Structure 1
Amino acid sequence: MAVLSAQQQSAAEYSLERVSPVDGRVVSRETAYDRDHCLGLTAQAAAAFPQWSGLRATERAAFLVTAARELETRRDDFLASMADEIGAPAEWALQNLHFAAEILRETATYAQEVEQVEPLPERRGLDSRAVRMPCGVCLCISPWNAPLVLGARAIAMPLLCGNTVLLKGSEFAPRTFRMFGEVLEAAGLPEGVARVILTRAEDSEEVVEALIASPVVRRVNFTGSTRVGRRVAELSAKHLKRSLLELGGQSAMLVLGDADIDLAAAAALEGAYTNQGQVCMSTERLIVADDLADALIVRIEEGRRKLKFGDPREAATQVGPVISIDAAERLTGLISDALSKGAELVGGGKARDAFLEPTLLDRVEPDMRVYREEVFGPILAVTRVANDLEAITVANDSEYGLACAVFSANEERAGIVAEQLHSGICHINRCTIDDTPHAPFGGVKSSGYGRFGGRWAIHEFTELRWLTRARKPGV
């Protein structure tokens, strides 16, 4: 079971309401739980661990494949929920659903690798090997901006490795996460193996502290802001729990002097304005060779003006509202600060309620907040540079290091630049936004540590053990 039945609900319940950024209506009313109730669910997850971890990895993989199928059957429900709760345009919501299903299916293909035994060099009379074992209960904390992808990614490999999971969903997308829990339930996961929990914002810190402190929780993964990630890291370290942190980003796209302008403009538009710039890999900083900048900015502005901006519930909409009115006000503050210090507004910049026009700023310099802070909104900031070395210096002048991209007609030149960038992910002549279940996904510096994806995630969610066996005399 993945969600609580009415008979299981305790008195420690609260109503969790979500007001839509689209029109200010209450669009979700879900049940949230307090610390003690969540600790009770942790105990149930611990009780389910022996049976679940005792299954073959191929058996556990079958549940993931079934969950992917169940997820896709509820396509329309999820698209409507994500439009209502987080203002997701239909194209982004649909990508979310399909990629979440892909994560579940492709993670299942690593079943044999999970159970792989590595023989160690022989010693006289001794067999020796290294094996990976499940850890126990894994606490998974996922944000609102890509709820299906980030929810699926948080639990898929932990489950395949034989752990049981508690997935704490965001209060900004409570209906979406509740329905994701129903998908897991429909997939037939045994009782207690995978729980989706929701809490009120004011209870979240207390609940997370208690869950990390619980002796049965052995792994923590968190996707979200660097500010909260630091707190999760502190708590995990205090209790000697390994954590995987995928945190903030401030992705830079470097356009060198010989780059294809059309290719770069298309990538900048996609990277900056997909999901209103609310993607951890969003292109926030466009670092451009000065002799190419004017022509590139003209091309980007032409594309920006063509973007369909408005109600995400309309099929043609490409850019909707940001997550809240508070977020929009913070973003307009970044724009005002930049303009007051000499930046130029090429286009956009107007806000109404939670709607902020896709915005293009030119001549952004290091003393401006938009240069330093994670934007997480539809603002593309252009900084002009004289040469490749300055481009590298500006790109690395950030506390974040998740994704970046380099554009050049000369692949060798682009590769030399890419090697010097401080990021966990780098693309050449491609948008900063990309993901696959088979790649090591994660960042450096204040963008976190650890890796989701592929065989690297197996290492995050298992314990490595050394096993020896004495041979019988004469063998």
Structure 2
Amino acid sequence: MYYDKYTGQYIRGQWKSGSQKTALKVTDPYTHEVLTEISLATPQDLDDAYQAAAQAQPEWATKSASERAQILINVTQVMDQRHDEIVDILIRESGSTRMKAEMEFAATRACTFAAAMLSHQVTGKIIQGDTPDKESRVYRTAKGVIGIISPWNWPLHLSNRSIAPALALGNAVVVKPAEDTPITGGLLLASIYEEAGLPAGILNVVVGQSSEIGDAFTLHEIPKLISFTGSTRVGRHIGQLAMTGPSLKHVGLELGGNAPCVILDDADFEHAVNAAVVGRFLHQGQICMSTNRIIVEQSLYPRFCEAFIEKAKTLKVGDPQEADTVIGPLINRKQVQAATQRIQNAIAAGHHLALAGKINEQVVSPHVFVNVDNQSELAQTEQFAPIAPLICAQDEAHALALANQTEYGLASAVFTENEARGLRFAKQVHAGMTHINDITPNDDPYVMFGGEKNSGLGRFNADWMISEFTTDHWISVQLKKRSYPF
């Protein structure tokens, strides 16, 4: 019933079929039921979407801050009215458990409300330079058209995290959602914004195969910035296209992670165990900020491993529709195969599998490895599955060294009862975000979000989003005639 309109593209405020002859089957990862079939976009459809955005954006940018903010407030109201529908589609399309779907709904709504406030927060500058009788003004204006490529793990939120601020700041948008989640990653949002009164052409959604429109999405001359959330491998490729293509453009890249969760010897033990379990297994570990390595000081290590395993055994696995299910399905069979291979490789490498969970179709139960070498493939690979490597650190200094031994630098956490100790430790972690006595998956629309090293470029949320999605324009006024050299 929810899926009748989601059969093609959303361009120029119209629901239309894609021009490609083949169709994409969207299936429920748990039941494998086909939810809808979507006719896919071609490069011509992509060009139409970008042209529509470019034509509609100038008028949208002239709207008052209050007018743009009101649309976003309307979006939150539409979301509230359609809450049950949105949560249900998240469960059925992305394999979200009900508790995760509710979390994603709340995050998306909060992000939209926060973005509405951005409309009134754009400021410029008046600068006193060295030229006599000259006033230099720096105006901050919308970039123009933003291209957004979003992932499948938190599709509604991670698409809207760029859509809402971009629109609030006067930009138009073209979105390419992941092929696994074209509805929650794009088409559902288009329906919500349409109902909220967004003018036609400001938000466009193209659903297509990456092999068909992927490179063209970045190389197209119209977008001024490409906002991408996904793997480091694909992010590197997008960055290269943006820099070497015929039209230079900005990029915002939120990429992979290998988040360490460090448990120091004075941590609140029960709290640290529970937080590590939640940080590792929330949404089956399919989160870029997910706790990928759990590093414990040796004085706590044996007891921690035992408690962590016992807690992991209690997690309910299975039907994501049931309110108390913690572990639902992985998004697709490819991810299951990859997780299975990593488990087999870890066993072959000599790592001790202390908790061997079951694998039933696309549902993978928790697997826990202990005494893991931090330099091993198991520890250095982003899992995106309910697989937990537990690593022993000799002391605090060793724990810090282990935490930083990764090519990634997105999220991290440290647990200690001594705030000063935790702060000293956190400042030395090579990451964009470190949380003291909290889980690694953290996002707040009023606080900056982003990573270091191979975890990306740029920052999301609040004032940082204004910097990303607007551009500076120097306009000077010569108040009195100047004397020129000739």
TM-score band w.r.t. shorter chain: over 0.9
**8 Å Cα contact 2:175/2:205 also seen in 1:** yes
Report the secondary structure of 2:476's partner residue: strand
* 1:25-424 paired onto structure 2 within 5 Å: 25-114=33-122, 116-121=123-128, 123-176=131-184, 177-200=186-209, 204-239=210-245, 240-366=248-374, 368-424=376-432
Q: What TM-score do you get using the length of structure 1 for normalisation? A: 0.95
User: Once the 2 structures are TM-superposed, how far is the Cα of residue 13 of structure 1 from its aligned partner?
Assistant: 5.5
Partner Cα separation in structure 2 for residue 442 and residue 344 of structure 1:
34
Partner Cα separation in structure 1 for residue 172 and residue 46 of structure 2:
14
Partner Cα separation in structure 1 for residue 12 and residue 161 of structure 2:
22
Deviates more, 1:387-396 or 1:358-367: 358-367
Aligned length: 470
Partner Cα separation in structure 1 for residue 322 and residue 470 of structure 2:
44
User: Once the 2 structures are TM-superposed, how far is the Cα of residue 214 of structure 1 from its aligned partner?
Assistant: 2.0
The code of the aligned residue for 1:69 comes to Q
Partner Cα separation in structure 2 for residue 389 and residue 282 of structure 1:
23
The code of the aligned residue for 1:223 comes to T
1:448 aligns with 2:456: yes
**8 Å Cα contact 2:12/2:200 also seen in 1:** no
Partner Cα separation in structure 2 for residue 59 and residue 20 of structure 1:
38
The Cα offsets for residues 424-457 of structure 1, whole Å up to 9 and x where unpaired, read as 0000011101111111111111111100111011
CA distance 1:251–1:10, change in 2 (3 Å): closer
User: Once the 2 structures are TM-superposed, how far is the Cα of residue 404 of structure 1 from its aligned partner?
Assistant: 0.1
CA distance 1:412–1:6, change in 2 (3 Å): closer
**8 Å Cα contact 2:260/2:412 also seen in 1:** yes
User: What corresponds to 2:5 in structure 1?
Assistant: none
**8 Å Cα contact 1:2/1:185 also seen in 2:** no
Report the secondary structure of 1:249's partner residue: coil
User: Once the 2 structures are TM-superposed, how far is the Cα of residue 145 of structure 1 from its aligned partner?
Assistant: 0.7
User: Once the 2 structures are TM-superposed, how far is the Cα of residue 112 of structure 1 from its aligned partner?
Assistant: 2.0
* 1:433-444 paired onto structure 2 within 5 Å: 433-444=441-452
Partner Cα separation in structure 2 for residue 147 and residue 74 of structure 1:
17
**8 Å Cα contact 2:13/2:194 also seen in 1:** no
CA distance 1:3–1:270, change in 2 (3 Å): farther
RMSD: 1.9
The code of the aligned residue for 1:469 comes to V
Partner Cα separation in structure 2 for residue 408 and residue 208 of structure 1:
45
Partner Cα separation in structure 2 for residue 10 and residue 142 of structure 1:
19
Report the secondary structure of 2:26's partner residue: strand
**8 Å Cα contact 1:164/1:194 also seen in 2:** yes
Deviates more, 1:33-42 or 1:324-333: 324-333
Partner Cα separation in structure 1 for residue 223 and residue 358 of structure 2:
46
Deviates more, 1:273-282 or 1:4-13: 4-13
User: What corresponds to 2:437 in structure 1?
Assistant: 429
